[in-house]
Amino acid sequence: MQHPSAYVAAIGTAVPGGPVEQGRLWEGFFAAHFRGDRAAERIFRGAGVQRRHAAVNPLLEDVGGWSTGDRMRRYAAEARPLGKEAVAAALDTAGLRPDEVGLLAVVSCTGYATPGLDIHVAADLGMAADVQRLVIGHMGCYAAIPGLGAVADHVTARGRPAVALCLELTSLHVQPPAPDRGQVVSHALFGDAAAAVVVVPGRPQAGGLEVVDVAALTDPGTADHMTWDVTDLGFRMGLSPEVPAVLARHVRGMVTGLLGRHGLSIADVDGWAVHPGGPRILSTVAEQLRLPDRALDASLRVLAERGNCSSSTVLLVLDELRASGRPRPGRSAVAMAFGPGLTLYAALLRAC
């Protein structure tokens, strides 16, 4: 039996509240949080973020002293309507009813509850009682790509539509004040967002993206370079300044290997949806892949307007890339993200 191909038919997004300006966040909260440290201010203002969204705005609520239990209860309350909004928008754009979905995968590393988002969002939208569900937790910023791969595999195996919802509320994990420059980077970059991708079998209308292949590479020797630890006071990020150097060692070989399996080269790629882990991450990718000027504009725009929203971000970038007309019909795009492990994940997509 020949299995159908899997296509991205739509992406739906949702953000909590209105945007918060980066300068206001520093002046109104983080300047005191880091005790006026001038180097911390330079890092904060140089993160490439102009504004972002927060379910818990530190200008209004300081969660630094909250227990992890308190943060998880707030996650459950905030995430449910946000996830419903993103999935509903994606299904509406794809022209699908909720009861047509065969699998709902939920990706998050910033909150957990049982019954979880997978159950609540499915019920709130009216998905069928026999919809299959998958929860992908604590993988970090790259998790949207294996999530996309999982729903695409379901679509090709079962011939039914599937949805992956990435929902991250990083604002819940503001840490207590500490003289830690790594925490400055984390607090400077991260924002909140939900992004849902609908994947369907067969050949959709123009604008769909075939999920051609997914690739992964993990360097376990650098596992301590990026961490996301559960503590009594929320989840705490550990971030080494060596991350861009590790990425530089691996990204070109990983991408050329993925493309080479399909007779393609870097020059054949018509669109790049690269996770904006920060300005240095993007400049490293551009340099190692020798990308043309403005190839990563979609990533830079998302970083500026949304910040780094962990797993949701690469889908936000892909949505931005599609809105700019890339990749063009018949051409390919690469979606790529990075996270703990250190791990690189990439998906090869082809426009209908």
The whole-angstrom separation of Cα 11 and Cα 325 is 15
Number of H helices, E strands in the chain: 11, 13
The whole-angstrom separation of Cα 210 and Cα 202 is 9
Q: Determine how β-strand 192-201 pairs with β-strand 6-14.
A: antiparallel
DSSP string, 213-274: EEEEEE-GGGGGGEEEEEETTEEEEEE-TTHHHHHHHHHHHHHHHHHHTTT--GGGEEEEEE
Q: What angle separates helix 243-260 from helix 279-289, to the nearest 10 degrees?
A: 40
Show the DSSP H helices in 101-177 as ranges: 117-125, 144-158
The whole-angstrom separation of Cα 125 and Cα 89 is 11
CB 347 within 8 A of CB 145: yes
Continuous segment of H or E residues that includes residue 184: helix 181-189
Secondary structure class of 348 (helix, strand, coil): strand
CB 22 within 8 A of CB 50: yes
Tokens 């492990």 -> residue? 341
Give, in order, the Cα–Cα distances in Å from 305 to each of 19, 47, 192, 285.
8, 12, 11, 20
Q: Where does residue 179 rank: exposed (0-12), middle (13-18), buried (19+ CB within 10 A)?
A: exposed
Catalytic residue among 141, 166, 309, 352: 141
Tokens 């904060």 -> residue? 44
Active site residue 141: yes
Provide the annotated active-site residues: 141
